[in-house]
Amino acid sequence: MKLIVKWLLSAAALLAVAYLYSGVEVKTFSAALIAAFVIGLFNMILRPVLVVLTLPVTVITLGLFLFVINALMFWAAAGVLDGFHVSGFGAALLGSLIYSVFGLVIDSAIERLFFKQ
């Protein structure tokens, strides 16, 4: 149940990013659902590999290169999907930052919702 709620809220967050920032376009809620799934899949499979491969650059930049990796995951998801479009790398960087802030809020809300004691 927790996973489904997080997925739905992540899709809503993606729609909010598209509403707040013109560099990101999402056509429908179903496109947002698929995009949220693909972004999550890329972050689960590709991101750890990229983090390990770029570890020296990440250390030199004091972790700021992780923002570039997040933007690449966001941009890659837009590249393979119809209905989800990012206008360029700068838009991917800003869109992924906004999406990450929404993700932090979602994680906090889900934590409070599902682990009340």
Put simply, whether the predicted model's pTM sits higher than 0.75 gets the answer yes
List the structure tokens of 53: 């491969």
pLDDT tens digits, one per residue of 30-49 = 999 999 999 999 999 999 99
Rg (alpha carbons) of the chain, rounded to whole number: 14
**Cα(55)–Cα(103) distance, rounded to whole angstroms?**
24
List the structure tokens of 104: 């932090």
pLDDT at 115 > cutoff 90: no
Q: How far is CA 65 from the centre of its chain?
A: 16
Q: Residues for the chain: how many in total?
A: 117
pLDDT tens digits, one per residue of 68-109 = 999 999 999 999 999 999 999 999 999 999 999 999 999 999
Q: What angle do CA 89, 46, 97 make, to 5 degrees?
A: 40
Tell me, what's the pLDDT at 1? 85
DSSP run (H or E) holding 42: helix 29-53
